Each structure stands twice: as structure tokens, then as C-alpha cells.
Amino acid sequence: DIVLTQSPALAVSLGQRATISCRASQTVSISRYTLMHWYQQKPGQQPKLLIYRASNLESGIPARFSGSGSGTDFTLTINPVQADDIATYYCQQSRESPPTFGGGTKLELK
Amino acid sequence: QVQLQQSGAELAKPGSSVKISCKASGYTFTRYFISWIKQTTGQGLEYIGYIYAGSGRTNYNEKFKGKATLTVDNSSNTAFMQLNSLTPDDSAVYYCAREGTGSSYFDYWGQGVMVTVSS
């Protein structure tokens, strides 16, 4: 299985930029597609899709969220961070079966 | 709007089975895959498998073969997951999720079902 590695936590100040990283144990790009996706999860809630195929913003998600990367290294950026963004963020790959998730990065306030 | 409504929390004894449901609305049920995902504090998010509602075709993560059985009832737009031979390691929150077209990401999730296995 492809292993996705995320830092456990990131502390940011409101109004600043947050950069959350995800590294894959092997490439998740195939042809012109990059099969990495990002989710937000708040306590007691289900995950919510933010970004699909590395850089595509899901409908209804604010433009302060963006995704980038290719191959094995990916980034979710939140700029500027708002109070409502305090949550845990997960990356997920679908390049190989089974789909796998990173361990999550908990975004905290400084 | 798309919604996935899951059944309520389950308390089960070791060795027993539970069957949880996921009722879909707001889209054409038979055109999409429904996946099931396990979440625990220790193991994080784990993919169990999918069922294609149009045909009933299933695919399971090797880790969950024999543990989970996925079915659908197209007359009620409902997907089901049965978990067998329960052990305390099966205690978790279980989500159903719709797969977005073509790329195996999950665009809509149910609210989750907490399954607790305890004697």
C-alpha cells in the first residue's frame, strides 16, 4: 500500500498562511492526472472534501484553500487562516488500490 | 442536495455481527460507487471497500476481506455493510462515502456510525 506521511500538528496565527504537507511513499501521478486529494475534519463530524486531484477546489469550498504538488510531495495551503479552519486535515491517494489516507495534521492556533 | 444518512450507533458483543446502513438521496444512486471507511484513533482512516450501486459489483481492501460484506438495495437507495465475527479491534466509527466520478475521491460522506464491541 502507498503510505502517506503528514506532520501531526501545525500551529498558526489567525490571518496567516498555513502550509500542510503530505509525502507519498511512491508517485501518485499517472498520465496527466495526480491522484491526491485533501479533506478537512472537525471534531465529531465527517471528513469534508476540499481539494481533488491535487489542485482542484471542490464546489463550495472557499478560495483561501489551495492545493499543489506532483509525484510524491503535496501541499495544502490555507491563506489566510480563519478561526473556522481549525480542524484536522487529511491527504488521500487513489493512484493505487486500496486508497490510503495520511495520518492527519491538526491545525492549531498559536 | 446530496445526502448520505447512516443508521444509529451499535453496541455489539464479541463474535456477533452488525449491519449498518447508508441511505442516499439527492442523486441517481445507481450511477455511483459507495465506499466504506473505518476511523479509529490509533489507525486513522482505513479504506474498507466499495460497491457499485448500478451492478452490485464489490471490491474489498485485502485487510477487510471476510470481515466486511457490502450490499445495496436499489429500491430504497440504501447501501449496507455487515461486519462479521466482531472483536474489540472492530470498535470504530464507520463512514459511507460517495466516490466522485472517475478518480476515487470521496465527495460526500455520511455522518458516521459508532460501533462498540464489548462484552
Determine the straight-line distance between the first and last CA of chain B, rounded to whole angstroms.
40
- In angstroms, the CA B40 to CA B87 distance is 14
Q: Give the closest residue to A64 by CA, choosing from A78, A48, A76.
A: A78
Other C-beta atoms lying within 10 Å of the C-beta of residue B69: 18
Would you state the cell numbers that stand for residue A67, as one nine-digit string? 492545493
- Taking contacts as CB-CB distances below 8 angstroms, the residues of chain B near A97 are 59, 61
Nearest Cα residue in chain A from B39:
A46
Average pLDDT for residues B81-100, to the nearest whole number? 96
Instruction: Provide the pLDDT for residue B30.
Output: 95
Q: Average pLDDT for residues B51-74, to the nearest whole number?
A: 96
**pLDDT given at position B44:** 93
Residue B42 is predicted with a pLDDT of 87
Indicate if the pLDDT at residue B102 is higher than 80.
no
Q: Which helix (H) or strand (E) holds B97?
A: strand B92-99
Q: Does A101 touch chain B (CB under 8 A)?
A: yes
Among B80, B51, B47, B85, smallest CA distance to B66 is for: B85
| pLDDT over 80 (residue B100) | no
Mean pLDDT for chain B overall: 96
Distance, CA of B80 to CA of A70 (rounded, Å): 36
Residue of chain B whose alpha carbon sits nearest to that of A61: B107
CA–CA separation, A80 vs A65, rounded Å? Answer: 9
Mean pLDDT of B97-105: 84
pLDDT of B101 above 90: no
Distance of alpha carbon A79 from alpha carbon A15, whole angstroms? 7
Which residues, other chains included, contact A60 with Cβ-Cβ below 8 Å and sequence gap of 6+?
A: none
* A98 to chain B: closest CA residue: B61
E-strand stretches of chain A: 4-5, 9-12, 18-24, 29-30, 33-34, 36-41, 48-52, 56-57, 65-70, 73-78, 88-93, 100-101, 105-109
Confidence grade of residue B53 (pLDDT, cut at 50, 70, 90): very high
Task: Say what the pLDDT of residue B104 is.
Answer: 87
Q: What phi, psi does A93 have (nearest 5°)? A: -110, 150
Q: Which residue type, as a one-letter code, is found at position B30?
A: T
pLDDT at A31: 84
Q: Which pLDDT band, with edges at 50, 70 and 90, does B58 fall under? A: very high
Chain B interface test: which of A37, A42, A46 (most B C-beta within 10 Å): A46
Radius of gyration of chain B (CA): 13
A22-80 confidence digits (pLDDT tens): 999 999 998 888 999 999 999 999 999 999 999 999 999 999 999 999 999 999 999 99
pLDDT tens digit string along B21-44? 999 999 999 999 999 999 998 889
The identity of residue B101, as a single letter, is T
Angstrom distance (rounded) from CA A16 to CA A4: 26
Q: Under an 8 A CB cutoff, do B103 and A101 touch?
A: no
Residue B62 pLDDT grade (very low, low, confident, very high; cuts 50, 70, 90): very high
